[in-house]
């Protein structure tokens, strides 16, 4: 549409009408579905699968069970959508599963790292107390 | 002419645009407002203004912004709400990832700092421990020294006591020897132990009848007595003279006094101090035997020498 407006003064009216009609058809085409899964969709699905696996490996089941569950459900839903030839929805679900799994993974790593930091700080504190006790004793 | 043509094109374009927009609206829902987009926008704005998130997760934040803009564009274009919300959801989740990544990075940084700190504290702990061990060693060294000194002083004390005991034993032995010696000397003097102390009786064989001069035979007995007194300077003597009952009392008193004085003079001549020798004459008093026989009278004609105790005292005659 923007492109059409830019070229407006240099084009004759007939081609303008044709362009408008083509644009409308293109927009309508966005609504259509039922294409075989694209290589891009297959790749997204694989990445989502991998990310879920990674999240599990770093302990997301313990530290981010909700996000992990959502990711897994969306991954299943994406596969179902592909089976139903709904590739567009499958693509959305796969991408969402990917970010959900990523969030689960980061949450788990963050929680574990924070716990480790606290533990380290506590061990330092214990050591300091021991030093103070030895100094006084 | 040119202007009117332009106006015509414009109105034609408007018609086409209107038709197009109607077709687009037909694909999606009617709303231009989506709560999920609003929510994502708010959470993105929040995270984008947090310097921690901006510094630690710039890539994810950028991806979140791209998804947010996409959802806004789609919403603006009246796209399928499902697609709009898909991108809004992606944006929201990416913001959450960015926030969590920032927390993770901060925790990692705090671990790094804590590890440095722990190394320092461990070093300090080792130093303190070494210091404590040194102090303990020093304390036990001092204690050992104190014990050694104590043992040494005990040993010295024991030695001193042993020496004192030895000295005391020697003194006791000396005293015993002196006592033995005294006993021997007394035996030599043929003195006799009486209630008044040691009494040496010199019989009249030392004097001629009715005379006060010592006979030469008396010299040996006087020598022994003088030796004894020289050896025991703490002892004094009392010399008592006696007679038998022949002759007058006055005469006998004088004779007995003179005889006692003869003995004193002989002792003083042998270096015995004048003050150590007292004399007294009792005449015919205190007879030792009967004056009825010649043998009894001979026993009564005598001089008795009483030797004092160690303090120089002589009890007075009471019988």
Burial of B247 (0-12, 13-18, 19+ CB in 10 A): middle
Residue B315, pLDDT above cutoff 90? no
Phi, psi of B190 (to 5 degrees): 55, 35
Query: Taking CB atoms and an 8 Å cutoff, what residues of chain A touch B114?
Result: 117, 120-121, 124
pLDDT average, residue stretch B165-179: 90
Q: Is ipTM over 0.95?
A: no
Taking all residues of chain B, what is their mean pLDDT, rounded to a whole number? 86
Q: Is B121 on the interface with A (CB under 8 A)?
A: yes
Percent above pLDDT 70 for chain B: 88
Q: Is A132 on the interface with B (CB under 8 A)?
A: no
Residues 6+ apart with CB under 8 A from A106: B97, B100, B101, B104
Q: Do B90 and A17 touch (CB under 8 A)?
A: no
Query: Taking CB atoms and an 8 Å cutoff, what residues of chain B touch A110?
Result: 100-101, 103-104, 107
> Vertex A120, ends A119 and A123: CA angle to 5°?
85
Percent above pLDDT 90 for chain A: 65
Q: Is A25 on the interface with B (CB under 8 A)?
A: no
Q: Given the structure tokens 């006084």, which residue do they identify?
A: A136
| Residue spans per domain, chain B | 2-105, 106-185, 191-307
Can you state the percent helix, strand and coil of chain A, rounding each to 5? 85, 0, 15
Residues 6+ apart with CB under 8 A from B284: B242, B243, B244, B245, B249, B252, B291, B300
Q: Do B111 and A102 touch (CB under 8 A)?
A: no
In the structure encoding, which two tokens stand for residue B140, read together? 């036990």
CATH top-level class of B191-307: alpha beta
pLDDT in tens, A63-87: 999 999 999 999 999 999 999 999 9
Residues 6+ apart with CB under 8 A from B3: none
Q: What is the pLDDT of residue B318?
A: 66
Q: Do A95 and B108 touch (CB under 8 A)?
A: no
Q: Do B128 and A131 touch (CB under 8 A)?
A: yes
pLDDT in tens, B134-143: 999 999 999 9
pLDDT in tens, B236-248: 999 999 888 888 9
Question: Can you give the pTM of this predicted structure?
Answer: 0.51
Phi, psi of B240 (to 5 degrees): -110, 130
Q: What is the pLDDT of residue B90?
A: 97
The closest CB to that of B129, out of A20, A107, A134, belongs to A134
- Helix (H) / strand (E) containing B240: strand B237-242
The closest CB to that of B100, out of A107, A127, A128, belongs to A107
CA B300/CA B302 separation, integer angstroms:
6
Query: Taking CB atoms and an 8 Å cutoff, what residues of chain A touch B8?
Result: 13
Q: Is B129 on the interface with A (CB under 8 A)?
A: yes
The closest CB to that of B100, out of A88, A103, A134, belongs to A103
């Amino acid at each position: 549409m923007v492109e059409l407006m830019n070229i407006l003064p240099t084009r004759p009216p007939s081609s303008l009408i044709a362009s408008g009609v083509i644009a409308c058809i293109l927009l309508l085409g966005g609504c259509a579905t039922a294409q075989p899964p694209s290589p891009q969709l297959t790749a997204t699905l694989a990445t989502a699968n991998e990310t879920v696996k990674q999240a599990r490996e770093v302990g997301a089941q313990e530290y981010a069970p909700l996000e992990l569950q959502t990711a897994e459900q969306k991954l299943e839903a994406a596969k179902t959508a592909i089976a139903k030839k709904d590739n567009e929805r499958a693509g959305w679900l796969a991408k969402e599963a990917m970010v959900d799994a990523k969030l689960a993974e980061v949450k788990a790593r963050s929680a574990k790292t924070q716990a480790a930091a606290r533990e380290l700080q506590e061990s330092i504190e214990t050591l300091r107390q021991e030093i103070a006790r030895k100094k006084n004793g | 002419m040119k202007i009117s043509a332009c106006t015509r094109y414009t109105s034609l374009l408007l018609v086409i645009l209107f038709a197009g927009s109607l077709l687009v609206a037909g694909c999606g829902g009617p709303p231009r407002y989506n709560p999920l987009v609003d929510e994502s926008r708010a959470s993105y704005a929040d995270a984008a203004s947090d310097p921690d998130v901006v510094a630690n997760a710039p890539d994810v934040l950028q991806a979140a912004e791209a998804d947010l803009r996409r959802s806004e564009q789609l919403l603006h274009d009246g796209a399928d709400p499902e697609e709009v919300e898909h991108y809004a959801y992606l944006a929201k989740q990416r913001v959450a990832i960015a926030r969590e990544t920032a927390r993770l990075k901060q925790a990692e940084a705090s671990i790094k700092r804590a590890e440095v700190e722990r190394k320092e504290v461990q070093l300090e702990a080792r130093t303190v421990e070494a210091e404590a061990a040194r102090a303990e060693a020093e304390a036990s060294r001092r204690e050992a020294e104190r014990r050694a000194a104590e043992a040494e002083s005990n040993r010295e004390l024991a030695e001193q006591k042993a020496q004192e005991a030895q000295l005391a034993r020697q003194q006791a032995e000396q005293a015993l020897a002196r006592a033995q010696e005294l006993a021997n000397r007394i035996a030599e003097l043929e003195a006799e132990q009486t209630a008044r102390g040691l009494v040496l009786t010199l019989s009249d064989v030392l004097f001629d009848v009715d005379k006060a001069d010592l006979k030469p035979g008396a010299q040996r007995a006087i020598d022994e007595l003088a030796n004894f007194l020289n050896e025991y300077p703490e002892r004094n003597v009392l010399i008592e003279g006696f007679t038998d009952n022949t002759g007058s009392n006055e005469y006998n008193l004088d004779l007995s006094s003179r005889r006692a004085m003869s003995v004193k003079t002989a002792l003083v001549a042998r270096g015995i101090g004048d003050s150590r020798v007292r004399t007294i004459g009792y005449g015919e008093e205190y007879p030792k035997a009967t004056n009825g026989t010649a043998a009894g009278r001979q026993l009564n004609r005598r001089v008795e020498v009483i030797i004092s105790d160690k303090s120089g005292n002589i009890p007075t005659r009471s019988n």
